[in-house]
Structure 1
Amino acid sequence: MRTLGLIGGMSWESTAIYYRLLNRLARERLGGLHSARLILWSVDFAEIAALQASGDWDGLTARMEEAGAALRRAGAEAVVICTNTMHRMAAEVEAAAGLPLIHIADVTAAACVDAGVRRPALLATRYTMEQDFYRERLRAGGVNPITPDDAGRTLVHRIIYEELCQGIVRDESRAAYLELIETLRRDGADGVILGCTEVGLLIGPEHTDLPVFDTTALHCAAALDFALAG
C-alpha cells in the first residue's frame, strides 16, 4: 500500500472526515485490522482564511508548496489536498512535492459524467464558485457547472466559513441550501456538487432527489484506489 500525504486543516472538520473515510475504506477493501498509510500536514486555518480573504494567493501558494515538499520528505508517495479551494495551486504543489497529486475536480467530473450529469449545481466557497481554476477543470472533464447568483454565492460562502468550518450545523442553513438547489434546478441543474469539503456535513443525497456528488467522499475513494494500486 502506498503512503498518502494529506494537506489538511482547511478546515479540520472536513480533514477529520478524510481521515475517517480513508481508514474505513481501507478496512472495507482489505478487511481485518487494515487501515490507510497516511501522513498529515495540518495547517492553522485562521491564517489560511485570512490570506484568502486578503487575496494573497502567492502567499497561500508558498504555504502549500512548503506542505507538499514536507510530505515528500516525510515519506509520502502522493499528495491529497483536503479542500477544494486550495486546488487553485494544485499544479504548484505537485511540482514542489515531486509527487502525483490526486485532483478533487478530476474525480468529481468523472463521477458526474459516469452518472450522466452534465450541468450540476456547484455549491462551494466564493473562490471556488467564482474563479476559473475549478470550473475550468470540471469543464475539461466534460461537466459545465451552474453556480448561484451573487446573493446565493454570498450565502453559501458565509455558511461554510461561519458555521460548517466551525462544526456548526443548522437546520435553517440546510433549508437555505436546498432552496438554492431548487432555484438552480429550475435553471437547468441536473445534479449537485458539494464543492466544499464541509458541505457534506449539511446536506446529502437524502435531502434532494437530484444526484449528489460529495467531493470529499469521491476524493477519498480515488486516493485509496491510488494507494492500493501500488
Structure 2
Amino acid sequence: MNKIGLIGGTGPESTIEYYKGIEYGVQQKLGCNFFPNLTIESLSVFEVLGFCEKQDYSGLTNYLLQGIRNLAAAGAQYAALTGITPHIVFDELSEVSPIPLISMVDSARDYAGVHGYKKICLLGTLPTMEGTFFQSSFAKCGIEVVTPNAEEKNYMGMKIETELEFGKVLPETQSAFKKIADRIIREEQVQAVVLGCTELPLIFDSVELPVPYIDVMQVHINTLIDLIMQS
C-alpha cells in the first residue's frame, strides 16, 4: 500500500478527523483488522495565518516545504495538507515538493463536477474566501464560485480563528453562520455550499440548509483512502 504523509496542525481538530477517517476508512474497505501506516508532521495554523496576513507567500511555501521534506524522510510517498488555507500556495509548493501532493481543492472540484453543480457558495477562512485558488480550480470544470460579502467574510474569518480552531462551537456563532449561508443560497441561487475550512463541519454538523454541503475534508479523506489502497 502507498504511504501517506499529512501536514497537520492547521488546525488540530481537522488533523484528528483526518487520522481517524483514514485509518478506519481503510480498515472498513478491507473488512479486516488492519490500519495503514501514515506519518503526521504537525505545524501551526497560526503561523500559516500569520504568513497569509503579511502576504508572505514565499515564507509560507518554505514553512510548509520543510514539513513535507520531513514526511518524505519518514518514507511517505505522497503528502497532503489537512488545512485548506495553506492551499493558497499549493501550486508553488507542488513545484518544489520532493513527493507528489494531493490537493483538497481539486478533490472537491472533481466531486462537484461529478454531481453536476454549476454554481456553489464557498465558506472558509478569510484568506480562502478572498483568494483566487478555489475559483481557479473550480473554473476548470465550469463551476462558478460565490462568497459572502465583506462584512460576513470578516465575521466568519474571526470566528474560525478565535473559536473553531480551538474546537469551540457556540450556538450564536452557529446561528449566524446559518444565516449567512441561507442568504447566499436565496439571493445567489447556488446549488451547494462548500465547507471550505476543515473546521466548518464542526459548526454545520446539526445545521440544515436547503441545498447539499460539500465537505471538502471528507471528500479529501476519501481520495486519500483510495490512493493508499492502490498497489
Scaled by the length of structure 1, what TM-score is found? 0.94
Aligned to 1:118: 118
- Aligned pairs for 1:43-122 (under 5 A) are 43-122=43-122
Q: Distance in 2 between matches of 1:136 and 1:92?
A: 14
In the alignment, which residue of structure 2 is the partner of 1:32?
32
Preserved contact between residue 129 and residue 135 of structure 1 (Cα < 8 Å): no
Q: Distance in 2 between matches of 1:92 and 1:74?
A: 22
What letter corresponds to residue 151 of structure 1 in structure 2?
Answer: E
Conserved? CA contact 1:109–1:142, under 8 Å: no
For residues 142 and 6 of structure 1, what CA distance do their matches in structure 2 show?
Answer: 30
TM-align CA RMSD: 1.5
Give, in angstroms, the shift of residue 205 of structure 1: 7.5
The list of structure 1 runs, each at least 4 consecutive aligned residues, that deviate by more than 3 angstroms after superposition, is: none
CA shift, 1:140, in A, is 1.4
Q: Distance in 2 between matches of 1:213 and 1:71?
A: 28
Counterparts of 1:222 and 1:141, CA distance in 2: 18
Q: 1:209-220 alignment to 2 at 5 Å?
A: 209-220=210-221
Determine helix, strand or coil for the equivalent of 2:145: coil
Alignment of 1:193-204 (within 5 A): 193-204=194-205
Query: What residue ranges of structure 1 are gaps of 5+ in the alignment?
Result: none
Greater shift in the superposed pair: 144-153 or 196-205: 196-205
1:108–1:213 CA contact under 8 A, matched in 2: yes
Q: Which deviations, in whole Å up to 9, do the C-alpha atoms of 1:4-51 show, x marking residues without a partner?
A: 010110111111111111112111101222123211110133333322
The percent identity for this pair of structures is 27
Q: Structure 2: any 5+ residue segments left out of the alignment?
A: none
2:178 and 2:207 in contact (8 A); partners too: no
1:165-221 Cα deviation digits (max 9, x unpaired): 011001111111111111111212111000001101110475213110101100000
SS where residue 192 of structure 1 aligns?
Answer: strand
TM-score normalised according to structure 2 size:
0.94
8 A contact 1:6–1:41 mirrored in 2? yes
Contact map agreement 1:205 1:211 (CA 8 A) in 2? no
Question: Partners in 2 of 1:120 and 1:205 — Cα distance?
Answer: 20
Q: Is 1:142 aligned to residue 145 of structure 2? A: no
Paired amino acid for 1:213: I
**What is the CA–CA distance in structure 2 between the aligned matches of 1:47 and 1:182, rounded to whole Å?**
32
Size of the aligned set, in residue pairs, is: 230
Q: Distance in 1 between matches of 2:23 and 2:112?
A: 25
CA offsets 1:32-84 (integer angstroms, 9 cap, x no match) = 22123211110133333322222222111111111122211110010111111
The CA distance in 2 between the partners of 1:116 and 1:137, in whole Å, is 15
Aligned to 2:176: 176
Q: Is the contact between residue 48 and residue 86 of structure 2 (CA under 8 Å) also seen in structure 1? A: no
Task: Check the 8 A contact 1:84/1:197 in 2, yes or no.
Answer: yes
Deviations 1:111-158 (A, max 9, x none): 112222221110011111111122211211332111010011111111
CA distance in 2, matches of 1:142, 1:108: 14
**Tell me, what secondary structure is at the counterpart of 1:207?**
coil
